Amino acid sequence: MFIVDSYSLAVIFCVVTMLCWGSWGNTQKLAGKTWRYELFYWDYVIGILAFSLLLGFTLGSTGDAGRGFVEDLKQISMENYASAFAGGVIFNLSNILLSASVSMAGLTVAFPLGVGIALVLGVFVNYFGEPKGDAVILFSGVALVVLAIIFNAIAAGKMNQKGSSTNKKGIIIAIIAGVLMSFFYRFVAAAMDLNNFESPTPTMATPYSAFFIFAIGIFISNFIINTIVMKKPFVGTPVSYKEYFQGKFSTHMVGVLGGAIWGLGTALSYIAAGKAGAAISYALGQGAPMIAALWGIFIWKEFKGSSRAVNILLACMFVLFISGLGAIIISGAN
């Protein structure tokens, strides 16, 4: 299988992860013009699962390092299967809630709040599960990100002083999603031998097999979680599976593309974790709110007509995010 053999390459992979995690939401916005997010989410999940298989039979099955994709799946213990699968279930619940919050509060608000909270809590969970990197610098970077989240929340509050209950509900759901999302990465990382991808410990998974099992967890749990949300949606009237199958092929493909984009970012994050460590790899990827906010501000015009004070707050948010991510990168450089 393909492995990362340097910290600099691991950082590059993590930056790509950040771009992917911060950009997939655009496909939801595109599909959302004619397509409910509950229906979009089925295509998104299918895209993740399909991409995990594609990756397993390509990069996961080439080279001399580690074990091949199929060989690895056969030897993983039930405990590690369960851990990676549980990560998928936890992620799915949190991400459905995050998708709901995007549809209610907007990309610029939901992503920085939900994913930002997931970053802060997730770094603690992953660092203490597998310590790697300078803790002082790492958590200083996280502190800067916390400040960025606060600035974003203040800016959103100023924009929504006359906001509807839908926006407020979206913010609350984003917070809940962020807390749940902070735990999924650790469950998947625990199934892998992060210290030795070249000769992984027997019964443990490689990044490619762990990602595939994780994707199965998302897909299977979706039949329960998303079905409930379809029948009792956060916004609007209930939707049915009949409506899903009546969707246009092009609309379905937008959702599949969104899943593939997110899947690429996630897979690269797990592949990079061997060199960068789970906490740093996760933290860099979760810089996605900065990317999502850029999309929301400049492409979707979610802060159009905002006051000078709001613009200053948003500028401060970006500066703090960039500074925090820089500190996180430096924390693992030695």
Q: Where are the alpha helices (DSSP H) in 106-164?
A: 107-129, 135-159
Confidence of residue 229 (pLDDT cuts 50, 70, 90): very high
| Greatest pairwise CA separation for the chain in angstroms | 60
CB 238 within 8 A of CB 86: no
3-state secondary structure of 332: coil
Dihedral angle sign, alpha carbons of residues 171, 141, 214, 258: positive
Token pair recorded at residue 139: 């958590």
pLDDT mean over 32-48: 90
Contacts of 221 (CB under 8 A, 6+ apart): 88, 89, 92, 93
In the numeric block, the tokens 């810089």 are attached to 287
Instruction: Quick: pLDDT tens for 152-161.
Output: 777 766 766 5
Q: Domain span at residue 212?
A: 5-330
Instruction: Quick: pLDDT tens for 75-131.
Output: 999 999 999 999 999 999 998 998 788 777 766 677 677 877 888 899 889 998 888
CB 197 within 8 A of CB 206: yes
pLDDT the model gives residue 162: 47
What is the DSSP code string of 62-79?
-SSSS--HHHHHHH--HH
pLDDT at 163 over 60: no
Distance CA 325, CA 6 (A): 19
CB 211 within 8 A of CB 188: yes
In the numeric block, the tokens 């199958």 are attached to 245
3-state secondary structure of 192: strand
Percent of the chain with pLDDT over 70: 95
Distance CA 259, CA 167 (A): 25
Provide the number of structural domains found in the chain: 1
Confidence of residue 327 (pLDDT cuts 50, 70, 90): very high
pLDDT the model gives residue 319: 92
pTM: 0.88
pLDDT the model gives residue 32: 75
Find the helix or strand (DSSP H, E) in which 188 lies.
helix 165-190
CB 88 within 8 A of CB 225: no
Instruction: Pick the more confident residue, 130 or 139.
Output: 139
Confidence of residue 166 (pLDDT cuts 50, 70, 90): low
